[in-house]
Amino acid sequence: MGIHATIYMSIKGIAFDPFDMIRYFPVSFFYILSMTVGYIGLRYIELSIASPVQNSSGAVTAILVLIFFPKELGIAHFVGIGLVTLGIMGLSALEKKEEIEAHRLTDQPLDKKYQISFLAIIFPLLYCLIDGMGTFADAIYLDELKLISEDSALLAYEFTFFIAAVICYIFLKFIKKG
């Protein structure tokens, strides 16, 4: 991401203020934390089951926006929210049914590691909530309060992510050694 940010900045001719990384840090933190939680969760649940739950973070954002910045909604909005919710639940159920059927046809036992448990489902739910809060914070920063431009927000996020990656690399390579 740091390489992309540098190229993007150069091509677009954007002057980047490093203080924007501090200004935008709360939003970057939510996004980076949600990805970290999502990847950790893949130890306990298959991506095909976790993904629909994780990707419903937009609903969390919509709810937060409606709570904090009330707007009048029509019936089409409520129908849309209901259809998306039903679609996510249906997709998860179908994916699980297909997995069970595939294992039955091949006479292979289901991998106990990926059985739905509290630990397995908490990670996608946490991802959903944290990512939804990050997108809500993004809406506040960019749309409501106009604290930072979209280009500056993108660069701040990508450089912050790059720094986090370098720190993780150093930790894993030189400190953890195990």
Q: What is the DSSP string of 85-115?
A: HHHHHHHHHHHHHHHHHHHHHHTPPP-GGGS
Closest CA to 157 of 54, 22, 12: 22
pLDDT over 90 at 142, yes or no: yes
Q: Backbone dihedral region of 111: left (phi > 0), alpha (psi from -120 to 50 degrees) or beta?
A: beta
Check residue 151 and report its DSSP letter.
H
Confidence at residue 112, expressed as pLDDT on a 0 to 100 scale: 60
Average pLDDT in the 9-23 region? 96
Name which residue leads in pLDDT, 157 or 72: 157
Whether the pLDDT of residue 73 is over 70: the answer is yes
What percentage of the chain carries pLDDT values higher than 90?
53
pLDDT average, residue stretch 164-177: 90
Average pLDDT over residues 87-94: 75
Q: What's the maximum distance between 2 C-alpha atoms anywhere in the chain?
A: 60
What local confidence, expressed as pLDDT, does residue 163 receive? 97
Can you read off the two tokens belonging to residue 78? Answer: 């409520």
Instruction: Please determine, for residue 113, whether its predicted confidence score (pLDDT) is greater than 90.
Output: no
pLDDT at residue 58 is higher than 90: no
Other residues' Cβ atoms within 10 Å of the Cβ of residue 41: 22
Where does the pLDDT of residue 25 fall: very low under 50, low under 70, confident under 90, or very high at 90 and above? very high
CA dist., res. 31 & res. 153, Å (int): 12
Decide which of 20 and 43 is more confident: 20
The per-residue pLDDT of the chain, averaged, comes to: 87
- Amino acid 66: pLDDT: 86
Mean pLDDT of 4-10: 96
**Bigger pLDDT: 93 or 138?**
138
Give residue 120's pLDDT.
80
